[in-house]
């Protein structure tokens, strides 16, 4: 983990921020960055802290309940254990170095930040952006974990035709999907599955209901599994028993838009230009202004991990960043299509990790 820590402090230095150490908390708002920089396994570590130093060293402050798990997977970190609130506070005071603490303001509550400031007597420096950029460029092991999670998810998508029958509800289908994801090797769900039938598919963040499947329906499915804490995220849209001309036109437009977005994702590209190219393509069709969300987002320890792909994304795309590419067209009262894949940025062309077919499928 020393490499990740040193990379973080390099980003902090580039932004001319004066930070003596970085504090990551698993208290009020448990911060996933704790696991990224510690690689701890086998516990929740709620109530714990991780302190990072510019030379790559790190200290874990955790409870007696999590001591065994911490000792087993601590790597190069030192572990300090508390059994009372007073002991935890004293350990923080003893190990926070310098006058300026780096803190991810997006990952802590105002109450917690004020409490940490009171305990340490230090200035708090927001390093949310620097942590995002550190996590955005994935290491080989991270990409492999996302790849395996995506393979599990792709396999589950291939089983969808066998799960469907006329009259099945969206909620029933979600339960079948969860069962098969876990059976196929997922350690957990990356997020609650979305199953949207017919007109319900026009809502991008739809919550599955008791709506039943009928002939001629869109079937929009968005789900993913986790492997070694790393997430997958994938969407496909199918059609039940029959496909009309308008549905086919929507699907082909979205697929072409997605292929364009994937082709534009190259090292050196400005992220917002990739989103804008896809939006411009869709707006040139009869479905103008029906693409109503960002083109994609980072994927990693979180489903929506670090950087996004939207019209405000000013950063430069770099090799080994991992994104979803998921354009969609949504027609209220009629239905919608979204196609989503996870891709890894490479020098020549992006590598697609979610491999299930994107051909129009009438089930």
- Please state, in angstroms and as integers, the Cα–Cα distance from residue 55 to each residue in 100, 125, 232, following that order: 16, 19, 33
Cα separation, 262 vs 269, whole angstroms:
12
Domain count, the chain: 2
State residue 8 phi and psi, 5-degree precision: -60, -45
Q: Are residues 203 and 284 in the same domain?
A: yes
Residue 330 is assigned to a structural domain of this protein = yes
**Residue 27 pLDDT exceeds 90:** no
Enclosing domain of residue 175: 140-352
**Which one of 135, 152, 177 terminates a domain?**
135
CATH of the domain at 191: 3.90.230.10
Q: How confident is the model at residue 6 (pLDDT cuts 50, 70, 90)?
A: very high
59, 84, 100, 278, 325 from 172: Cα distances, Å: 46, 46, 52, 34, 28
Q: Quick one: 35 and 160 in the same domain?
A: no
Q: What is the mean pLDDT of residues 322-343?
A: 98
Same domain flag for 113 and 154 = no
In which band, very low, low, confident or very high, does the pLDDT at 249 lie, cut at 50, 70 and 90?
very high
**The predicted structure's pLDDT at residue 325:** 98
pLDDT the model gives residue 173: 98
- Residue 345, pLDDT > 90, answer yes
| Region 262-283 average pLDDT | 98
343 in the same domain as 265: yes
Q: Are residues 19 and 164 in the same domain?
A: no
With CA atoms as reference, report the closest residue to 307 among 350, 354, 333, 275: 275
Among the candidates 118, 135, 152, a domain finishes at: 135
Final residue of a domain: which of 135, 168, 185? Answer: 135
Residue 48 contacts residue 16 (beta carbons within 8 Å): no
Minimal CA–CA distance to 306: which of 131, 139, 162?
131
Per-residue pLDDT tens digits for 290-332: 999 999 999 999 999 989 999 999 999 999 999 999 999 999 9
Q: HEC profile for 35-57?
A: HHHHCCCCCCCCCCEEEECCCCC
């Amino acid at each position: 983990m020393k490499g990740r820590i040193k990379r973080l402090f390099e980003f902090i230095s580039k932004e001319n921020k004066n930070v003596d150490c970085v504090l990551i908390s698993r208290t009020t708002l448990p911060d996933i960055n704790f696991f990224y920089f510690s690689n701890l396994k086998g516990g929740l570590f709620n109530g714990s802290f991780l302190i990072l130093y510019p030379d790559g060293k790190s200290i874990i402050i955790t409870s007696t309940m999590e001591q065994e798990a911490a000792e087993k997977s601590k790597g190069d970190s030192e572990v300090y254990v508390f059994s009372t609130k007073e002991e935890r506070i004293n350990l923080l005071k003893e190990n926070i170095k310098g006058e300026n603490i780096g803190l991810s303001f997006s990952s802590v509550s105002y109450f917690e930040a004020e409490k940490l400031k009171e305990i340490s007597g230090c200035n708090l420096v927001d390093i949310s952006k620097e942590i995002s950029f550190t996590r955005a460029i994935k290491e080989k092991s991270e990409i492999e974990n996302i790849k395996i999670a995506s393979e599990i998810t792709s396999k589950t998508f291939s089983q969808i035709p066998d799960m469907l029958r006329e009259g099945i509800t969206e909620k029933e289908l979600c339960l079948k999907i969860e069962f098969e994801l876990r059976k196929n090797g997922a350690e957990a769900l990356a997020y609650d599955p979305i199953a949207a039938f017919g007109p319900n598919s026009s809502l991008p963040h739809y919550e599955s209901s008791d709506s039943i499947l009928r002939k001629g329906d869109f079937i929009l499915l968005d789900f993913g599994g986790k492997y070694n804490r790393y997430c997958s995220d994938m969407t496909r849209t199918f059609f039940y028993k029959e496909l009309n001309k308008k549905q086919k036109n929507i699907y082909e437009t979205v697929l072409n838009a997605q292929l364009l977005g994937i082709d534009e994702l190259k090292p050196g590209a400005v992220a917002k230009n990739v989103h804008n190219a896809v939006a411009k393509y869709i707006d040139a069709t009869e479905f103008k202004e029906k693409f109503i969300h960002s083109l994609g987002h980072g994927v990693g320890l979180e489903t929506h991990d670090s950087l996004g792909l939207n019209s405000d994304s000013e950063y430069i795309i770099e090799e080994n960043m991992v994104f979803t590419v998921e354009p969609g067209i949504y027609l209220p009262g009629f239905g919608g299509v979204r196609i989503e894949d996870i891709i890894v940025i490479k020098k020549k062309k992006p590598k697609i990790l979610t491999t299930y077919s994107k051909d129009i499928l009438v089930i």
